[in-house]
Amino acid sequence: MTGSISRRNWLRAGLASAGGLALAACDRITNSPTGNKAISSAEGLTRRAQRLLIDRKALAREFQLSDISADFKPNGSIDPQDPDYLTLKAKGFADYRLVVDGLVERPLSLSLADLKALPSRTQITRHDCVEGWSSIAKWQGAKLAPILDQAGLKPNARYIVFHCFDTLDGPMDGAGRYYESVDLLDAHHPQTILAYAMNDRPLPVAHGAPLRLRVERQLGYKQAKYIQRIEAVADYTHLHHGGGGFWEDRGYEWYAGI
């Protein structure tokens, strides 16, 4: 049909083979220097191709109700045991507050009821994990852009960081906590939402309850689950190992656009 569809297929084929080659699974901690090298060079190629070919503001494809996967695989952390998370979970997340801070004029602290009262979006999209699987689900959540507007980004804010509740690596001392970051283009993309519902039900724990990011133009590992806090920053290199995300710190590409 159109050039853009075949280009996208080509990019997807490239990503699928990069994932296959590197044998790096994002639900396992792998420490293979060769694997990481293979994945970075393949992703580097993809990134250059994308910069040339793809409009960053374009919408990700949306699907029909009949396309929803019956068996969307939960991946990575699926049942966090971090004490602060367990305390909130025990009360059905009634005491949950999303903190929005960092380089903002007006830091926010939002309950789930606050979040549900904000401008929302519902979308049926496909989640693509670098392990090579994809699943389709319907997501509903608060649009991120109006929340950032409400907080008022300071002029030097360039990235939005999502700090999560779950520890995916090592002892629960904070070092192996999951985190992610996106730039302001993805943060303001119309399909970027803080999802509290999946397939018309409250977001299940396995998929990131009570709140997870859907940033639909990015790969699976950017879709931060169990969001605790959102921080606006000028730079992310001072956080954790400096890569801008849990998997980025372990060799994955920061820009994981699809």
Ligand X SMILES: Nc1nc2c(c(=O)[nH]1)N[C@H]1C(S)=C(S)[C@@H](COP(=O)(O)O)O[C@H]1N2
Interface with ligand X by CB under 6 A: which residues?
26, 73-77, 129, 164, 166, 168, 178, 207, 220-221, 223-226
201: closest CA among 122, 118, 119? 122
Q: Does 19 bind Mo ion (CB under 5 A)?
A: no
User: Shortest distance, CB of residue 195 to ligand X, whole angstroms?
Assistant: 10
How do 227-233 and 201-202 pair as beta strands? unpaired
State which residue, 23 or 150, has the beta carbon closest to ligand X: 23
Near Mo ion by CB under 5 A, which window of 15-23, 29-37, 88-96, 122-130? 122-130
Q: Which of 210, 220, 244, 245 binds Mo ion (CB under 5 A)?
A: 220
Query: From the CB of 256, what's the least distance to ligand X, in Å?
Result: 10
Stretch of 86-94, 111-119, 127-135, 154-162 lying at the interface with Mo ion (CB under 5 A): 127-135
Please, are residues 225 and 247 in contact by the beta-carbon 8 Å criterion? no
Please state the closest distance from residue 139 (CB atom) to ligand X, in A: 10
Q: Which is nearer to Mo ion, 100 or 209 (CB)?
A: 209
Nearer to ligand X, 104 or 164 (CB): 164
Q: At what angle do helices 33-53 and 3-22 cross, to 10 degrees?
A: 170
CA atoms of 63 and 56, how far apart (whole Å): 20
Cβ distance to ligand X smaller for residue 127 or 153? 127
- Determine the Cα angle at 257 with ends 255 and 258, to 5°: 160
The site partner of 50 among Mo ion, ligand X, none (C-beta below 5 to 8 Å per kind) is none
What are the residues facing 218 on neighbouring strands? 257
Specify the residue, 166 or 248, whose C-beta has the smaller distance to ligand X.
166
- Residue 129 found at the interface with Mo ion (CB under 5 A): yes
At position 13, the amino acid (one-letter code) is A
Contact partner, 88, from Mo ion, ligand X, none, Cβ < 5-8 Å per class: none
Question: How much of the chain is helix, strand and coil, in % rounded to 5?
Answer: 30, 25, 45
36: left (phi over 0), alpha (psi -120 to 50) or beta: alpha
Q: Which helix (H) or strand (E) holds 147?
A: helix 144-151
Size of the site for Mo ion (CB under 5 A): 4
When binding is defined by CB under 5 A, the residue of 11, 15, 18, 26 that contacts Mo ion is 26
The dihedral sign for the CA sequence 252, 76, 223, 19 = positive
Give least dist CB 105 to ligand X, A.
28
Pairing of strands 227-233, 98-102: parallel
Shortest distance, CB of residue 13 to ligand X, whole angstroms? 19
User: What residues make contact with Mo ion under the rule CB under 5 A?
Assistant: 26, 129, 220-221
